[in-house]
Amino acid sequence: MTPKRVSVGRRESEHPRPRLGLVERAAGATIGAGSLFQDRYEIVCVLGQGGFGTVYQARQVATGQLVAIKVLQTGLVGEHDRRVARFEREIRLCARLHHPNIVRLVDSGTTAERLLYTVFEFVPGENLADVLAREGALDPREARHLMLQVLDALSCAHAQGVVHRDIKPANIMVVPTGARRNAMVLDFGIGALVDAITGSRVNRTAATKDAVCTPGYAAPEQIQAMRPTARSDLYAWGLVFLECLTGEPVITGGSLQECLFKQMSRAPVPIPRPLWGHPLGELLREATLKDVRQRNVDAEGLFWRLQACDVNELEREDFIEPVAGRAQPPTTLPMRAEVRGSGVRLVPSARSPEAERRQLTALCHGLTALGPGPEAIDIEEVEELISLEQASCADVVRRHHGRFAGSLGEEVLSYFGCDTTPEDGALRACRAAQEILSRVRSQSAWLSAKRGIRLEVRIGLHTGLVGTRDIGGPAHALGTTPGIAARLSALAVPDTIVLSSTTARLLGGHFALVCGGTLPVEGQGRLVEVFLLRGEPVNG
């Protein structure tokens, strides 16, 4: 039977089965004011457009109720029964969410053109992102009121097993419904919708315009190869609360990479000085812990703790003092040894760690699974299998003193040489690569015998001089080095280790290498000479 390839970030079917993929469609090409959508909704106007598609205001013909229709730009080609069924299950869960602070899901489905859509009740007002852009920091009492309502909504959803996946100011409506404004959470179910049509895991979409999660609010585990949980929603909620108090996003950067680096670092989320020693500060610190294992909080517990927090003594002005007067978070200066007489002391180094350039070896590996076909293989089971195998590979990296840098889909990036010489870093990277390859082959043989599933791994290594940011957690390298390693991994045939010539030169005869010729690497103005790593180390 023709094999079915399944990976964390995408699914591919080979002939003769029809390929499950995506086709770009111009959502809205035949939808305009006055037109009838799905024979049930009269389109009133376009409310907005984004990476995922177009939002329309419409009127339900049967009731006259105003609704918001979200039509995605991508549709399914060759719908997969399992994926569609999974989407329908999650949407049914979201449709059961009845809470005064959750915008209600009214309808969902697929058009004749195979465009997926959802229909929500229309809520007048503006989203929290627009409110903060116009008003700046909110009064702490107002921020507490709105964030209590968001917490109550999350508590309702989490109790029914529904995770939002993309809590951010733009997904929280601020509604004037009486003497004071109230919050309503938008887009429960949209994460399930995007997952269903792309077949993507969360970490793969984090860097695309069709993001299920937003990098500035995504919990570290969402950026890694993990599924989001209720704790992921609460991490994002904590960042939104801090933004309400200060008027400024907590995680910012000049690029997507910089945002991801800040989220993945071990540096704690900064708590504003007025909250130091305050119960609200401790609550927000616990909600925004980077390590999901330490972030031992739940929505209901946070709700009652926030309910008990007295914020009457906190003033808006305390959070928005001029930049020059703001208390800066404690900084650990780089230190160097200085000989004084017969002793040695540590003194501040003039060299900034952010300006340091170091030669690192980047190891990028991609893991995929091959099965007997879509009827005989459970996609969710294989996703879980690959996720567990990636975790085992991460353990291998740590044993060889490498540092996890991040993942995107099935690709995982690690660095070697952060705390040692370039030669030693390259040796450790190659030993880790061989152990990963050996482990995947062994696991593949076992799975092939038991389940008819075969694992494949592709590994690329490249050594280069990069600017580094090493703050005690994952190593963050800036430059072309990680990109070249990733491209070598993508060009490698299954179950091979491909090295660039710069890495090969550092090995000093420790490994048996075979010249692989030159390969064109996208983004480089020249051909890159590559080598294949074969067999066991020559010298230990």
Query: How open is the CA angle 20-23-29, to the nearest 5 degrees?
Result: 145
378 is catalytic: no
Distance CA(424)–CA(419), nearest Å, equals 10
Q: For the purposes of burial, counting CB atoms within 10 Å of the CB of 208, is it exposed (0-12), middle (13-18) or buried (19 or more)?
A: middle
Catalytic annotation, pick one of 152, 166, 187, 233: 166
Q: Give one DSSP letter per residue of 300-312, joined into a string.
A: HHHHHHHHH---T
- Per DSSP, helices labelled H in 160-225 are 190-198, 202-205, 220-223
Distance CA(413)–CA(405), nearest Å, equals 5
Q: Which two tokens stand for residue 446?
A: 């076992």
What residues contact residue 303 under an 8 Å CB cut-off, 6+ apart? 148, 151, 152, 155
List residues forming the annotated binding site.
Answer: 70
How many Cα atoms within 13 Å fall on the side-chain side of residue 455? 28
Q: Which two tokens stand for residue 115?
A: 């465009």
Comparing C-alpha atoms, which of 210, 212, 213, 215 is closest to residue 72? 210
What's the per-residue H, E or C state across 209-267? CCCCCCCCCCCHHHHCCCCCCHHHHHHHHHHHHHHHHHCCCCCCCCCHHHHHHHHHCCC
List residues forming the annotated binding site for ATP.
Answer: 70
Is there a contact between 60 and 99 (Cβ–Cβ < 8 Å)?
Answer: no
What residues contact residue 488 under an 8 Å CB cut-off, 6+ apart? 364, 460, 461, 462, 498, 499, 500, 519, 521, 528, 530
Provide the annotated active-site residues.
166
